[in-house]
Amino acid sequence: MRAAPLAALAALALALTACQEEEAAAPAPPRPVVSEIISLAPVSTISWVGTVEPKVETDLAFEVTGHVVDRLVDVGDVVDKGDVIAHLDPQELQAAARSAEASLAQAEAQFVSARDNAERTRKLVERDVESQANLDNANQQVAVAQSEVDRAKAQLAQARDRLDKATLKASAHGVITAAPVSPGATVSAGEAVVRVASTKELEAVVDLSEPDLATIDADAQFTVALEAARTVTTGGRLAYIEPVAEDTTRTRRVHIALDDPPPAFRLGSLISARLRTQADAVLSVPTSALFERDGAAMVWRVERPSGSVGAVPVELGDAFGPRTQLAGGLAEGDEIVTRGVHSLEDGEVVGERTAL
pLDDT at 7: 54
Q: Is the pLDDT of residue 319 over 80?
A: no
C-alpha 277 chain-centroid distance: 29
- pLDDT for residue 144: 93
To the nearest 10 degrees (0 to 180), the angle between helices 132-164 and 91-126 is: 160
Q: Could you give phi then psi for residue 258, rounded to 5 degrees? A: -90, 140
The pLDDT, as a whole number, for residue 42 is: 67
Task: Decide: helix, strand or coil at residue 150.
Answer: helix
Burial 307-327 (b: 16+ CB within 10 A, else e): bebebeebebbeebbbbbbbe
Average pLDDT over residues 215-234: 88
CA 62 to chain centre: 25
In CATH terms, the fold of domain 91-164 is Helix Hairpins (1.10.287)
Residues facing residue 297 across a β-bridge: 292
Least confident of 14-18, 49-53, 90-94, 345-349: 14-18
pLDDT in tens, 34-55: 999 998 876 666 789 999 999 9
Position 20 confidence tier, pLDDT thresholds 50, 70, 90:
low
- Calpha distance 138→129 (Å, rounded): 15
Query: Which bin fits 76, alpha (ψ -120 to 50), beta or left (φ > 0)?
Result: left
- Please, is 173 exposed, middle or buried when counting C-beta atoms within 10 Å of its C-beta (0-12, 13-18, 19+)? middle
Distance of alpha carbon 322 from alpha carbon 326, whole angstroms: 13
pTM of structure = 0.52
Section 351-356 average pLDDT: 80
Whether residue 123 has pLDDT greater than 60: yes
Same fold, 47-55+201-275 and 61-88+169-197: no
Instruction: Write down the mean pLDDT value for the chain.
Output: 87
Give the pLDDT of residue 17. Answer: 56
- What pLDDT digit, counting tens, does each position of 256-284 carry? 999 989 999 999 999 999 887 756 678 88
Domain ranges of the chain: 33-44+281-354, 47-55+201-275, 61-88+169-197, 91-164
Is residue 244 predicted with pLDDT exceeding 80? Answer: yes
Find out whether 138 and 118 touch, Cβ atoms under 8 Å. yes
> Taking residues 213-239, what's their average pLDDT?
89
- What would the CATH number be for the domain defined by 47-55+201-275? 2.40.30.170
Residues 93-116 have a mean pLDDT of 90
CATH 2.130.10.10 fits 33-44+281-354, yes or no: no
pLDDT at 91: 84
Tell me: the pLDDT tens digits for 128-187? 888 889 889 989 999 999 999 999 999 888 888 888 888 999 999 999 999 999 999 999
Alpha helices by DSSP H, listed for 165-279, are 210-213
Specify the pLDDT at position 192.
95
- 61-88+169-197: CATH architecture: Beta Barrel (2.40)
Name the more confident of 303 and 6: 303
